[in-house]
Amino acid sequence: MSLSPADQAKSAASARALTLVEDGMTLGLGTGSTAGWFVRLLSERIKRERIRVTGVATSSATVWLAEELGVPLCKLEDVERIDLTVDGADEFDANLNLIKGGGAALLQEKIVAAASGRMVVIADDSKRVARLGAFPLPVEIVRFGWTSTRRAVQELLNGMDVEGREISIRTGSAGPLVTDEGHFILDLHLGQINDAPRLASALNAIPGVVESGLFIDMASMVIIGKTDGKTEVIERVVAPGTSVDQAELMRNQDS
């Protein structure tokens, strides 16, 4: 079966991430089309090599896919720690900060990433940006009083160093889309975010905001799949959680 260039890139990044998986690991399984490739390749390796790994899914969609493919799952509440999480992203920058949540799974994804020893992002080149913000930033909010929360987010944006300030409520087939955790999603059309860590903290301080799709200092590696099947790895040398200013990034070209 010949793959489209996009799938070739996603599968190359996923195959490279799979080399980080060791027998006995507990794995965070991300959500989205790229993470879906990883789950598929993982399932093939489990069958081929009989490795024993357990997955913690980050959405109902990933639970469904993993169960369909025979990848063993457990709940996050049943494990003390996740060894490695592999997930996609909507954007990443040179500091390995991310925008996630295009598929509405940002909350479980962030909880799982935070519980992981290591978060590895798999992506194609289209996700690489000089500054985050061209992709609308998803913000998960509770349904109660959601218009008040939207107003508070709007007021916050008026004082923030961003290019655009439009906010939309994400809709599904029957009104506002409801996430796996029962919340709504606001999409913030910001164009360019000039201080992502500051915006992330300020959003999280608004009552009614559950989480934003800004993943700051959480990823330790981004694997970029290319349409020719090659990969490029960008790795954070210092431990995740260390400030961006101190982070030294290392680039490797792979074949």
Is residue 232 involved in binding ligand R5P (CB under 6 A)? no
Q: What x/- string results for residues 110 through 149 when contact with ligand R5P is judged by CB under 6 A?
A: ----------------------------------------
Residue 100 binds ligand R5P, judged by CB under 6 A: yes
Task: Specify the stretch interacting with ligand R5P by CB under 6 A; choose among 15-23, 49-57, 95-103, 169-177.
Answer: 95-103
Whole-Å CA distances, 33 to 1, 187, 190? 18, 20, 24
* H helix or E strand, kind and range, residue 138: strand 137-141
Greatest alpha-carbon pair distance for the chain in Å reads 55
* 232 counts as catalytic: no
CB nearer to ligand R5P: pick between 173 and 246 = 173
Minimum CB separation of residue 134 from ligand R5P in Å reads 14
- Burial of residue 117 (CB within 10 Å: 0-12, 13-18, 19+) is middle
8 Å CB contact between 140 and 185: yes
DSSP symbols for 195-255: -HHHHHHHHHTSTTEEEESEE-S--SEEEEE-TTS-EEEEEE-SPBTB-GGG--EEEEE--
Dist CA 248 CA 84 (whole Å)? 21
Q: Which residue of this chain has its Cβ atom nearest to ligand R5P in the complex?
A: 32
State yes or no: 172 annotated in a binding site: no
Helices (H), the chain: 5-18, 33-49, 60-69, 106-114, 146-158, 196-204
Angle in degrees, 0-180, between the axes of helices 33-49 and 5-18, rounded to the nearest 10: 50
- Residue 32 or 240: the one with the smaller Cβ distance to ligand R5P is 32
Annotated active-site residue in 22, 67, 68, 109: 109
- Window of 103-111, 152-160, 180-188, 220-228 that interacts with ligand R5P by CB under 6 A: 103-111
Nearer to ligand R5P, 51 or 134 (CB): 134
Q: Please pick, from the candidates 88, 133, 136, 208, the single residue that binds ligand R5P as defined by CB under 6 A.
A: 88
- Strand 98-99 with 214-215, pairing: antiparallel
Site string for ligand R5P, 10-49 (x = CB under 6 A): --------------------xxxxxx--------------
Detail the residues annotated as belonging to a binding site for substrate.
Answer: 31-34, 87-90, 100-103, 127
What are the residue numbers of the active site? 109
Residues that bind ligand R5P (CB under 6 A): 30-35, 87-90, 100-106, 109
